Structure 1
């Protein structure tokens, strides 16, 4: 929470130091790094907590790091050989001098993920907490400091790199200090053994993770390449501002769902438990999301500056998407609890096709709003996600009828508050 507060305080400063066009460049950079980084270790990073013996866990850490290094050396060569062509294809020729940062950021993100799983394995959560505060502070200071110096868009990009880079370096140094002897004793045959033992991760999990990330970020890259102006920057700011508080609540509920869901599944009551969790989310989260979305145009103008009204407008379009994502994300773990990995992969592939296809279709129809098409595709994807989860857990959609009716007065009150807030914000903005 402290880390998120640091970033939230820095964001209104950054939106006044950098233009929406420069945030659009950041959106493309972040999208590329996000898509590549989830699979840069071929998901061996996720396997780090699994080995019973410490030596095998250390070997898995070294394997994941080595794979990330090898993959990103290849990416680095590509960014050196044809940077202009890559940047032009992305619709951002100004990215060409900075493309070498992509493999660096991807490698650091892979190492950071690996180290996170190592420290989770050893239950050293205080290290992770302090590290996140340091990452947020380093990223914020980099973006604000370089923005004040007029170094743009490099300041935004380096702030993104510093975020994962600080985490990778700090945790990596502590890992080496703690496990120096075991690292030296690890052999190539040890790496080969754990690579074979956990081969299902690159075979299945890597593709699922890339599809999941690409479904979110590839349409933004496409939209940035095809549309004029800073539309991708507006989308990125709107998504970030809304999804950070959503993730704080969603992650907490996910932990509860995962810890109790396995017991409910063994008892044959996972469907009822899923409905109970969804009911609670509907009562507590839907109203505030609608409230903020209604007031978003004036709120964004006041907080982030007059150049960012469009981002607030897009938040309104993305509101149905955010609501369904808020409901789907915590209970999506039901797929893993029931070991329905094939269905999980199929859903991610469906989401990728639906969301990229929606943007592509809107582009072929002259004059159609690309961002709005992307926002609505997110709603339909997560709606299908919730319906599939209900079916696989043995629940029924009609089971949510009573909770929805019970939540209507609460949602209505939040909506009225949003309308009132929008009116007040309009008067405030005009006054100032």
Structure 2
């Protein structure tokens, strides 16, 4: 990496290490306070809220780093605020339906979770535009680390799945408030006085984000939601809890490293000179990520079952078997996770959407037969096998991309 990219990544990575270390270290205590069934109920509703929150600003928030003028950024912020408010209101109706007919007692908290997740994502991109990497690291520490501590305290009060939900939502809202500075041009109050024509102009300038990136992001989150629904339907709430816990720990390294790298990689790719530097940055990132992913996968294959059973207790034994089966997929996902911003920077979102749809078909082609034939472990092996081809093509395509916008212009 170039020194400035490495320095920014390490700043975010330091915050991420602390933020993720707290919930990961508290995990063994949480699994003794919350049953697999309680964890499964929380995980299912949290997945639904995440599915909505990821598109709560119609992905206009991801266009913020593209706005170099403060006035244009303020217009985009005003647009995001209105969309988030509307989506949160709509999620209240969805929550009411789930509570009345879906037998989900947590469903009333859906709008709170959507507002928290949507605001955190929106204001993370606002801070990313200003390259406030220290503030981003602190916010991540509050959201992840603080959330686990609150969940632990509420678990001691025997609040069940509601304790898990309130712990996650409350600290996400607190982290979003931390990122709400500096204020946009004109101040926060001015966002609600923004002329309609300015909002329309901002929406048109970045129309590819709601048209192309929103379906991509929504379908990506929908994959996790439908997976939990299938696991819960076919094997019960306890299995859904096992799945959610395993994926939380297995994807933690990707969230840790990938989140830090993507937030620094995105603006770096946008400003790369037209001399092949952008493609070289992506290739170096792939190689560096692969060097970390392969040893992690080897550990899971050799000692996954023993490690998970020792850490979380006998009632979570299935988690380790699932971890071993998912090891190849997790390694591939680790490398791919931070590269999602590459196609946004290179204006290849239509291509990314088509490829993502194919990838989701392959994911479920491995998941469903695996669940029927071998339970959770069978599903893990099925996904690892089916996604190998998808990720192999994805990495090859990015490493050899021919149509990088600023290079073509040059």
TM-score by structure 1 length? 0.79
CA distance in 2, matches of 1:171, 1:163: 13
CA distance in 1, matches of 2:98, 2:390: 40
Larger deviation: 278-287 or 232-241?
Answer: 278-287
CA distance in 1, matches of 2:256, 2:112: 28
Q: Does 1:385 align with 2:391?
A: yes
Shift of residue 105, structure 1, vs aligned partner: 0.9
**Number of the residue aligned with 2:382:** 376
**Number of the residue aligned with 2:156:** 148
Shift of residue 66, structure 1, vs aligned partner: 1.3
**Number of the residue aligned with 2:11:** none
Shift of residue 266, structure 1, vs aligned partner: 4.2
Larger deviation: 310-319 or 378-387?
Answer: 378-387
Shift of residue 159, structure 1, vs aligned partner: 1.6
Give runs of aligned pairs for residues 51-200 of structure 1, distance below 5 A.
51-81=67-97, 83-85=99-101, 87=102, 93=103, 95=104, 97-172=105-180, 175=183, 179-180=187-188, 182-183=190-191, 185-200=193-208
Contact 1:234 1:308 in 2 (8 A): yes
Q: 1:201 to 1:277 in 2, by over 3 A?
A: closer
**Number of the residue aligned with 2:253:** 245
Give runs of aligned pairs for residues 217-232 of structure 1, distance below 5 A.
217-232=225-240
Shift of residue 164, structure 1, vs aligned partner: 1.8
Q: Does 1:290 align with 2:290?
A: no
Contact 1:58 1:183 in 2 (8 A): yes
CA distance in 2, matches of 1:254, 1:56: 23
Q: 1:338 to 1:178 in 2, by over 3 A?
A: closer
* Unmatched runs of 5 consecutive residues or more in structure 1: 88-92, 396-432
Q: Where has structure 1 moved over 6 Å in runs of 4 or more?
A: 259-265, 269-273
CA RMSD for the aligned pairs? 3.1
- TM-superposition CA deviations, 1:352-396 (whole Å, max 9, x none): 222234444456x5x54255325532553254223233145439x
**Number of the residue aligned with 1:430:** none
CA distance in 2, matches of 1:360, 1:234: 17
Contact 1:328 1:386 in 2 (8 A): no
CA distance in 2, matches of 1:180, 1:256: 26
Shift of residue 16, structure 1, vs aligned partner: 0.7
**Number of the residue aligned with 1:28:** 44
**Number of the residue aligned with 1:211:** 219
* Unmatched runs of 5 consecutive residues or more in structure 2: 1-16, 402-410
Shift of residue 283, structure 1, vs aligned partner: 3.8
Aligned length: 385
Q: 1:194 to 1:296 in 2, by over 3 A?
A: same
- TM-superposition CA deviations, 1:19-73 (whole Å, max 9, x none): 0111111221221122111111111111223223323312211211211211221
CA distance in 1, matches of 2:31, 2:350: 42
